[in-house]
A and B are shown apart, each in its own frame.
Chain A
Amino acid sequence: MNLDDALDTFVIESRELLENMEAALLQIEQSPDDADLINAIFRAAHTIKGSAGLFGQDHLVTFTHSAENVLDQVRGGHLAISGELVAVFLGVCDHIGTLVDCVAEKRPIPEEAQARSVELIQRLKAVSGEATPAPTTTSQLVEHVAPEAACVREGGGEGVETGNWHISLRFNPDVLKNGMDPVSFIRYLGTFGRIVSIVTLTDALPGIAEFDPEDCYLGFEINYETEADKAAIEAAFEFVRDDARIRILPPHSLVDEYLALIQSFPEEDLRLGEILIRCGTLTRHELERALETQTQARDDGADAQRIGEVLVAQNLVQPAVVEAALQKQKQVKENKTGDASLIRVNADKLDEHINLIGELIIASAGINLAAQKSGQPDLLEAASLLNRLVENIRDSALQLRMVQIGATFNKFQRVVRDVSREIGKDIRLEISGADTELDKTVVEKIGDPLTHLVRNSMDHGIEPADVRLAAGKPAHGTLRLNAYHDSGSIVIEVSDDGGGLNKARILAKAIDRGLIKPDQVLTDDEIHGLIFEPGFSTAAQINNLSGRGVGMDVVRRNIIALRGSVEIESEEGIGATMRIRLPLTLAIIDGFLVEVGNSSFVVPLEMVVECVELTEAEIAASQGRDQLDLRGEVLPFIRLRDLFEIDEPARAHNDQRHSTGAEEDLATVLQPVKRENVVVVNYAGHRAGLVVDNLQGEYQTVIRPLGAVFSGLQGISGFTILGTGMVALILDVPGLVKRVARQETQTHPPARALPA
């Protein structure tokens, strides 16, 4: 059993719950009476608290508990939803996230986070008024967990004592019909011992319609002190043994009996910590002692032990008991995921699966080739069928990695809310196309650029309310997020109904920064594109949003790194739309296949600008420098043959010498003695030429990563396998472009003049 796995599950689950909680909080401002939303928020807090208790995260438990108290008041209708309340809870939500992060990274809660906890608890108390019962110690958790079951504690309420028996009773519905009264058995217990505490479980009571007055729905948990032996207690329940599930746990009980108890719990949402406490396996003292040991271990620098491990180590519970509780948790989880008809799959497994399908594609291409060579109709038919199926499998496998962009969009509800308060503008977010799907890796990487675009639109795009009213627009600004598919790519739009881009100001700024010459004539698109230049900002004032050192140039660079592009459509006074275009998946690219000697290379098609012929005249003109004159501009180039040290191939026309004379002439015409091509590539504004022998044209490629052995290799970013079974290397264009720039400065430090 690995408790680390369980902890990971806890972290993942908590983050999901926090997302739900945040979404519900943002929604509840609009519909404060929606009981479902209140319940969703409450449930999230409650579940996190319960799970945190199980891992001994007492700080998290304490903090979440305070939040839950206030939520409980809201749920009970004692406290109304207000903007202030939502604001506090958004803070609480973030803070729980921080605490969960600490748990995930297995580090102690830093002091500032602890201070923040205290501050937030104070604010929670403030919003909920004086009436808030704000228990802040772990020990009070126990009572809150089972609010329906306030324990009676005779003898001064000193808590559950060790050495007591624990009796769990769950009666079958028929017990009453069989002429037995459950409470009479409990009453009988009082004759030879003392009921220290009793909890009546009413969870199973159905609604009035389903309620059969002659069925029994009650259960009892009893903490019992007696001098009698087990046989005597068992005898008390002799008559009801067939009509109830009875678990009697003697003091310092056997492992199997604890095990059976936990497994026999019908209550679904009980978590390990709660189960251990509630079933009397542990007293509060034992739990606290275990917590102390855990803290000490952490302070001593030893590996932080999970609560379960600590308990096992101290022989307080046997490993099997903890396992049983975890098993129970797992069952609950499986039920939950089953409801949503979703399964959680490890991303690595999925990648491996897609890798295998890549292999399958290559293998089937090989079979196709062999079938065509053989010319057997049967084989050809089988091969084409196989081919079609493989294509279907590839499509569905890539589909598996697809996720809806809605979750990413919904996060912006919060961003828009926070930022609009911060900058004092009333801005609403409208989302459309949330069900548009794209590759998971792309989704993960698009968050930051998108955030920046959204903030940029809110900060610079949408005008203050007075300006808007003067322009005849509604006082509140509207920000739209939209996504749709467009010919193999996904388009994400961030649009606002603000003032649009101020062309005059952009031009003035660009001239000021020396980005363009004063007399340069630019199209609208070119002017808009200027805001993506490094060092460009028209923000008149530096505030929290601008001046973070993350400019629009970084946005564009990030998007280009995803092999995407960004464009702006703007109409002054009406609004602006930023349009991001991304490939649907990162696993497949459109490549440009080139040949050098017998080797094949793939250049990502997006980076190819043009292809030109490298003539003898140009080589002569370059005077030995690896540069050529491309319509008056200097273009440094790299000879891939030299870079990868590829042998000169046996000349094609030499081979063909032995063929007929007519073909020989034709071959000489088609294959001049030395004919090379330059593929002009562009990356991040830098251009470079790649000198190759042959251009093969466009080629859709499944990118395969290189093995660890080749990780230090420069100029290559991956490989792919061609239908013939040949390997083609994918060129690392950004790396090559950088290399060109470097070489140039090394070999010709001062002289950068154009060749004559």
Chain B
Amino acid sequence: MSDHTPESPTLAVCGEFNIFTAAAMKEQLMTTLAANPAGHDIDIDLSDVTDIDTAGIQLMLMAKREAATQGKTLRFVRHSDAVLDLFDLCDLASHFGDPVLIRSQTRGPHES
């Protein structure tokens, strides 16, 4: 987690990103935020997130906002399907403003 390049994200979230891991995740996000000085870019890899819920999404919202107030750029990258599903459901993609891979399925999941 020390040398930051676009190819090696600052933090990778693996497995569950939900109420069960929320407390640990908050610690991890706080540590990551603290470890990076202002002006630094922080990338958080979500490619291995298998499950995400309200607790996860509000952690993301909080981290994003906190980074902005500290003058850091925090990006969520390589969103997994689970994350994208939730984004679509709650219409949050534009809220985060992070680049999101466009999936072949164009309609929202709530249409199915």
- Report A's interface with B, CB cutoff 8 A: 148, 150-152, 154, 171, 175-177, 181-184, 186-187, 189-190, 194-195, 197-200, 202, 205-208, 211, 213-214, 216-218, 220
The answer to whether B55 touches A213 (Cβ under 8 A) is: yes
Q: How long is the Cα–Cα vector from A182 to B23 in the complex, in angstroms?
A: 18
Secondary structure type dominating chain A contacts: loop
30 contacts between A and B (CB under 8 A): A150-B91, A150-B94, A150-B95, A152-B91, A154-B107, A176-B22, A176-B54, A176-B55, A177-B19, A181-B53, A181-B55, A183-B89, A186-B89, A190-B89, A194-B110, A195-B108, A198-B90, A200-B95, A205-B58, A207-B66, A208-B62, A208-B66, A213-B25, A213-B59, A214-B55, A216-B54, A216-B55, A216-B58, A217-B58, A218-B58
CB-CB nearest in chain A for B52: A183
- Distance (Å) between the CB of B45 and the closest chain A CB? 19
CB-CB nearest in chain A for B25: A213
- Distance (Å) between the CB of A430 and the closest chain B CB? 37
Any chain A CB within 8 A of the CB of B72? no
Any chain A CB within 8 A of the CB of B86? yes
Say whether, besides A176-B55, A187-B89, A200-B90, A181 and B19 are in contact (CB < 8 Å).
yes
Any chain A CB within 8 A of the CB of B57? yes
The answer to whether B26 touches A211 (Cβ under 8 A) is: yes
Any chain A CB within 8 A of the CB of B99? no
The answer to whether B110 touches A189 (Cβ under 8 A) is: yes
Secondary structure type dominating chain B contacts: helix
The answer to whether A186 touches B108 (Cβ under 8 A) is: no
Chain B contact residues (Cβ within 8 angstroms of A): what range?
20 to 34
- Distance (Å) between the CB of A330 and the closest chain B CB? 31
Q: How long is the Cα–Cα vector from A137 to B61 in the complex, in angstroms?
A: 31
- Distance (Å) between the CB of B96 and the closest chain A CB? 11
Chain A contacts of B55 at CB under 8 A? 176, 181, 213-214, 216
- Distance (Å) between the CB of B79 and the closest chain A CB? 15
Chain A contacts of B66 at CB under 8 A? 207-208
Chain B contacts of A148 at CB under 8 A? 95
Chain A contacts of B107 at CB under 8 A? 154
Q: How long is the Cα–Cα vector from A187 to B54 in the complex, in angstroms?
A: 12
Chain B contacts of A182 at CB under 8 A? 54
Any chain A CB within 8 A of the CB of B92? yes
Q: How long is the Cα–Cα vector from A182 to B86 in the complex, in angstroms?
A: 11
Identify which of A175, A183, A195, A208 contacts B57 (C-beta below 8 A): A183
The answer to whether A205 touches B110 (Cβ under 8 A) is: no
CB-CB nearest in chain A for B67: A208
Chain A contacts of B23 at CB under 8 A? 213-214
The answer to whether A183 touches B91 (Cβ under 8 A) is: no
The answer to whether A190 touches B53 (Cβ under 8 A) is: no
Q: How long is the Cα–Cα vector from A207 to B63 in the complex, in angstroms?
A: 9
The answer to whether A183 touches B110 (Cβ under 8 A) is: no
